[in-house]
Chain A
Amino acid sequence: MKIKTFKILSLAVCSALLISSCKKQLDIPSRNSLDAGVALTTKNGIEYAINSVYSILKRESHYGRDLFSVTDAMADIAFANGRSSRLLAENRNTALANVIIWAGSYAAINEINLTLAAYPAISDATAAEKARWEGELKFLRAFYYFDLVRNYAYIPTYVVSNQDKGGVVINLQGFNSAAAATGYFPSRSSISECYSQIWSDLYRSMELLSNANKGRNYASKHAALALGSRIALYEGNWARCDSFATAAITLSGGIGSLTNTSNYVTGWRAADHPEAIFQVWYATLAENLGVNTSLAATHTTLSAPGAFAGVRQGQGDLVPNAFLLTQLGISGFPTNLAQSPPPPALTYSNDIRNRLFEWGVNASGHYVECTKWMGKNGGPNWDNTVVLRWAELYLNRAEARFRLANEAGAWSDLNVIRSNRYVGFTVPPVPLTGQALLDEIWRQRMLEFAFEGHRFYDLKRNGLSIVKTNPAVNMPATDYRLLPRIPTSEVDGNPNLVQNFGY
């Protein structure tokens, strides 16, 4: 049924775009293809081209799974139990087991560049439409480049300078001829050049986009401010991080709001998380990544909360390790994590976040699993991926304020999070200071964003070692495996492109 709808839709797009130039289309045999010369000459063509840029974010390699689960497997909070052999190598920090977003991201960036070049010529579009197009495209280009550079290069706050091979390839020209593409031998820009480019796009998108734009499934000024606070945090631009987070927190007419101890759990059970400022949208059931690699399938075997005696739904490959469970205030699980049936009752502390962790179905034993995703959109394995949400704004700002020697401000932001997460929380009379304060901010980030793809980058940008007992890993931040390999096919034959250190 879904497939049918989709085909009809694609047909409709093509025919809509065809009307303007029938002759050129005559020798194109496929109904799903159209000549590039006419694709971006109508309003619909531009809208559909922008949709494609968003749709790449849905892939397994991006926010379908890897940018969350592969990075969390590499970090120190998770255990890959081998139920389907997935994420084992990533969990052991094996060389080459890392995110692979190079080709997909550059395909998206090329589409952005082509569409940016084409939209000014659309004669029947209003100035407001054109501003929105440019704003969304520039937000997306900043977003894709930021993901590329935070993965394939060092993060500015912690660079191992004798292993630094630069940032990523920056290109702002779309490719539409064989000659240009075959004559292209790009080189890497420096890390700071990459961040400059990202800022220039992001600033432009803030000027052009309205506060909420089309909501949390699309780029908006609110999303740009939130992303800006994260980028500034990674860059070590503390004042900018502080001001962007403040701007996002105080923005009127923005998207969503911070949840508290009473609606935290229901927030996570809803298809649209109330805290989400920007999410990757899986609008139809057919778009879910299935029983092997969707976020729900990766993290849990449960079909519903409490259904540990029921039918197994997903693989449940990546589970919280003992360190994370303990930090979340959960006890009653065995040291090796696998519990033969029946599982005993777990003990939960007053941290509301731990209610999203519970016994899964017996599959080579019960494990305590993360239930942030469990088919919330209305079908198995069907969840949206929240990329930017409110809690991050406070935690970004707390860290930035700490670095700006504003410990009082940091302490206050930290307590915004803690009072909304710990039932019956009272602010301690003696504030934390110095390293203890910073450590608590980092610890709250870890608890808040467990399995949401933050922890690995938080360790990486602060130069912290990845230390795990099971599997036994003690990997300093100087280890070459922290950065992925640039695909060898990109380096072979191109003397301008320098491979990352150690590969």
Chain B
Amino acid sequence: MKEENFLKKVNAISDFKLRYSFGQAGNDQIGNVLYAQLYSATRLYGNASAIFPSQLGNPDLTWENREESNIGLDLGFFKNRITLTVDAYKRINKDLLLARPLYSTTGFTSIQQNLGKMENKGLELMLSVTPFDGKFKWTSTFNIAFQKNKVLELYDGLQSLPSDASIRVGSPIGSFFTAEWAGVNPATGRGMWYDINGNLTYNPTANDRKIIGDIYPSKFGGWNNTLSYKGFSLDAFFQYEYGRVRLDGQYQQMMRMAGATVNTLSYGFITRWQNPGDIVPTPRAFNGLADYNSAGWGTGSRYIFRTDYIRLKQVTLGYDIPANFAKKYRLEGARVYVQGINLWTYTEWPSYDPEFTGDNFGIIPQSKNITVGVQVRF
């Protein structure tokens, strides 16, 4: 668009592009025998073979279908000293090839079926600025991505998936759908939950479940700065992620509080309920994984926490030895640098490290490290 007559003469605008695309694709990664009804011979009784129906086939399987549309904008100002890139997308996945749960009174737990519709929407922004571009150069790039997914429909007009009630029409996939933790009863030291009406209960029921959050961040991105002056250069990269929650399996395991004969976290020990009137976050220590006539110690949202963080992912300070100085010693070049990885993190996540995928129980946290290096080129 920069080449259009009405923009050619606007000097401040150095680049202007508008993009749009639409596509449709199928996914043919369908297993070979998902259609077939099978018996399997993997059981035994009386040291003789035992066969059982292992799969209820579905002859009506088809491909998955995906529609995707993108709209994008590239803008450049002042000879591209400021550039802005914006991308928005929307993807709709249809006829998802999924295991459709069956009521186990049929003798089966699921069949493969094309079902449901899901939507992914997102917006990505990248702003790059170069305030100084001389001997002293500074480039700063900031990006942020917003994303949202939701289930648009299931099958048979269902509002939630029977086998996994956390998959609900209008809510994101990856949601936690459980009872909300209400803290500790100061009078008795027992853990409490909210029922669906917001009243306290020791035994939340299936009806008391609600969406607590989901495992996909709603916004994330980074901020990168590069500064250089003569032979010196400084790179600093921050990374951040907001809006996701996770079950902290590591913390849960270490907060068993006399539920097993292992040490507990000192936080749990110090904040445990001891006497009537104590207003504390940790229930009384109790030999067993549930108090008398109470739901289990890890039920509901008690160990679900936000993983929001900002992290100084990488910072590098370097110095390139001047070329003429290097030449004296018959070197092509030399560089001295100090690099730090994961030096600083802001988070309220209780366990080691908020940056993980899957379950955090037993995983090794990202290490913090500092490297001092010399690179010599001959």
Residues of chain A whose beta carbon lies under 8 Å from any beta carbon of chain B: 6, 9-10, 12-14, 17, 27-30, 32-37, 39-40, 45, 47-49, 51-52, 54-55, 58, 82, 85, 88-89, 92-97, 102-103, 106-107, 109-111, 113-114, 169, 171, 174-178, 180-182, 184-186, 217-218, 281, 283-284, 287, 471-473, 481, 485, 487-494, 497, 499, 502-503
A487 to B161, CA, bound (A): 14
- Cβ of B78 within 8 Å of any chain A Cβ, yes or no, is no
Contact A89-B289, Cβ < 8 Å, known A178-B58, A182-B102, A492-B162: yes
Among A12, A34, A177, A503, contact of B38 (Cβ-Cβ < 8 Å) = A34
**Contact residue among A93, A102, A176, A492 (Cβ-Cβ distance under 8 Å from B56):** A176
Residues on the A chain within 8 Å of B52, using CB: 49, 52, 107, 111
Query: Can you list 28 A-B pairs with a CB-CB distance of less than 8 A?
Result: A28-B36, A29-B32, A30-B40, A32-B42, A33-B38, A36-B36, A36-B37, A36-B53, A52-B43, A52-B45, A52-B50, A55-B43, A85-B260, A92-B290, A96-B296, A107-B52, A171-B105, A178-B57, A178-B58, A182-B100, A182-B156, A184-B102, A281-B46, A284-B47, A488-B165, A489-B163, A490-B105, A499-B206
Q: Report the minimal beta-carbon distance from B374 to chain A, rounded to whole angstroms.
A: 55
Q: Are A82 and B287 in contact (CB under 8 A)?
A: yes
- Give the complex CA separation of A497 and B45 in angstroms: 33
How near does chain B come to A370, taking the closest CB pair, in angstroms?
A: 22
Q: How far is the CB of A343 from chain B (nearest CB, A)?
A: 21
Considering the complex, which residues of chain B in the window 249-302 have a beta carbon less than 8 Å from any beta carbon of chain A? 259-260, 287-290, 292-296
Give chain A residues whose Cβ lies under 8 Å from the Cβ of B10: none
In Å, the complex CA distance between A6 and B48 comes to 9
Taking A33-B54, A488-B206 as contacts, is the C-beta distance between A109 and B259 under 8 angstroms?
no
State the Cβ distance, A232 to closest chain B Cβ, in Å.
26
Q: Counting chain B CB atoms within 10 Å of each CB, which of A12, A283, A497 scores highest?
A: A283
CB of B39 within 8 A of CB of A186, answer no
Q: How far is the CB of B104 from chain A (nearest CB, A)?
A: 4
| Given A52-B45, A281-B46, A174 and B107 contact (CB-CB distance below 8 Å) | yes
CB distance from A476 to the nearest CB of B (A): 12
Q: Does B101 contact A (CB under 8 A)?
A: yes
B197 surroundings in chain A (CB, below 8 A)? none
B260 to A, closest residue via Cβ:
A85
B50→A55 contact, CB < 8 A: yes
Chain B residues, Cβ within 8 Å of A174: 107
Is B203 an interface residue when CB atoms closer than 8 A count as contact? yes
How far apart are the CA atoms of A13 and B113 in the complex, in Å?
30
Are B111 and A52 within 8 A (Cβ)? no
Task: Check A51–B45 contact: CB distance below 8 A.
Answer: yes
CA distance A317 to B105 in the complex (A): 33
Distance to closest chain A CB from B15 (angstroms): 53
Contact status of A473 and B53, CB under 8 A, knowing A27-B33, A494-B103: no
How far does the alpha carbon of A92 sit from the alpha carbon of B46 in the complex, in Å?
Answer: 36
Give which listed residue, A9, A36, A37, A113, contacts B49 with CB less than 8 A: A9
The answer on a CB contact under 8 Å between B50 and A92 is no
Q: Which of B44, B289, B293 has the most CB of A within 10 A?
A: B44
**Which of B44, B109, B156, B288 has a CB less than 8 Å from the CB of A103?**
B109
Q: Which residues of B contact A29 (CB under 8 A)?
A: 32-33
B49 in contact with A95 (CB, 8 Å): no
- The residues of B with any CB-CB pair to A shorter than 8 Å are 32-33, 36-60, 100-109, 111, 113, 156, 158, 160-165, 203, 205-206, 259-260, 287-290, 292-296
Chain B residues in 8 Å Cβ range of A113: 107
Residues in A neighbouring B56, C-beta threshold 8 A: 175-178, 181
User: Bound state CA distance, A88 and B295, in angstroms?
Assistant: 13
Look across to chain B and name the residue whose beta carbon is closest to the beta carbon of A58.
B45
The listed residue with most B CB atoms (<10 A of its CB), out of A14, A58, A181, A490, is A181
Partner of A114, one of B36, B53, B164: B53
Provide the bound-state CA to CA distance between A34 and B55, in Å: 10
Contact B101 A51 (CB under 8 A): no
Contacts of A55 in B (CB 8 A): 43-45, 50
Q: In the complex, what distance in Å separates the CA atom of A287 from the CA atom of B47?
A: 9
Q: Can you list the 6 inter-chain pairs with the closest CB atoms, starting with the nearest?
A: A110-B107, A51-B50, A39-B39, A493-B162, A103-B104, A52-B50
Q: Which residue of B lies closest to A14 (CB)?
A: B41
Beta-carbon contact of B46 and A89 below 8 Å: no
Partner of A178, one of B105, B113, B296: B113
Shortest Cβ distance from residue A123 to the other chain B in the assembled complex, whole angstroms: 20
Distance in angstroms between the alpha carbons of A89 and B292 in the assembled complex: 9
Known pairs A34-B51, A96-B296, A281-B45; list 9 more (Cβ under 8 Å): A29-B33, A33-B39, A39-B39, A54-B45, A58-B45, A92-B290, A94-B294, A107-B104, A284-B47
In the assembled complex, how far is the CB of residue B364 from the closest CB belonging to chain A, in whole angstroms?
A: 26
A171 surroundings in chain B (CB, below 8 A): 105
Pick the contact of B106: A13, A27, A184, A473 (CB < 8 A): A184
**In the complex where A39-B39, A54-B45, A107-B107 touch, is A492 in contact with B165 (Cβ < 8 A)?**
yes
- Contact: A89 with B44, CB < 8 Å? no
Tell me whether B33 and A52 are in contact (CB under 8 A).
Answer: no
Quick check: B60 and A178 within 8 Å, CB to CB? yes
A110 pairs with B108, CB closer than 8 A: yes
B203 nearest in chain A by CB position: A95
- The answer to whether B205 touches A502 (Cβ under 8 A) is yes
Considering only CB atoms, which chain A residue lies closest to B42 in the complex?
Answer: A32
CA distance A48 to B289 in the complex (A): 42
Query: Would you give the shortest CB distance from B296 to chain A, in whole angstroms?
Result: 7
Bound state CA distance, A28 and B111, in angstroms?
17
Q: A36-B38, A88-B288, A178-B111 are in contact. Are A95 and B293 (CB under 8 A)?
A: yes
- With A37-B37, A181-B106, A287-B44: A10-B49 Cβ-Cβ less than 8 Å: yes
Check A48 against B50 for contact (C-beta < 8 Å). Answer: yes
Which residues from chain A contact B164 at a C-beta distance below 8 Å? 489
- A217 CB contacts on chain B under 8 angstroms: 46
Query: Given A12, A110, A497, which contacts B53 in the complex, CB threshold below 8 Å?
Result: A110
Given A52-B50, A169-B105, is A489 in contact with B287 using a C-beta cutoff of 8 Å? no
The answer to whether B47 and A184 touch across the interface, beta carbons within 8 angstroms, is no
User: In the bound complex, do residue A106 and residue B105 qualify as a contact, i.e. CB atoms below 8 Å apart?
Assistant: yes
Are B107 and A106 touching (Cβ within 8 A)? Answer: yes
Chain B residues whose C-beta falls within 8 Å of the C-beta of A181 in the assembled complex: 56, 102, 106, 108, 111
Q: In whole angstroms, how far apart are the Cα atoms of A155 and B294 in the complex?
A: 25
Instruction: Report chain A residues within 8 Å CB of B48.
Output: 9, 47-48, 51
- By a CB distance below 8 angstroms, the chain A residues around B106 are 106, 110, 175, 180-181, 184
Cα–Cα distance between A55 and B49 once the two chains are bound (Å): 10
Tell me, in angstroms, the Cα distance from A93 to B292 when the chains sit together.
8
A489: which B residues are within 8 A, CB to CB?
Answer: 101, 103-104, 162-165
B101 contacts A10, C-beta separation under 8 Å: no
CA–CA, A218 and B46, complex, Å: 9
Residues of B within 8 A of A54 (CB): 45-46, 50
Across the interface, do A487 and B104 meet the contact criterion of CB distance under 8 Å? yes
Contact partners of B163 in chain A: CB under 8 A: 489, 492
Bound-complex Cα distance A146 to B111 (A): 28
CB-CB < 8 A to B101: which residues of A?
Answer: 489
Inter-chain CA distance A49–B52, complex, in Å, is: 6
Distance A113 CA – B56 CA, assembled complex (angstroms)? 15
- Considering residues A27, A51, A176, A472, which has the most beta carbons from chain B within 10 angstroms of its beta carbon? A51
Contact, CB under 8 Å: B295 / A503:
no
Which residues of B lie under 8 Å from residue A33 when comparing CB positions? Answer: 33, 38-41, 54-55
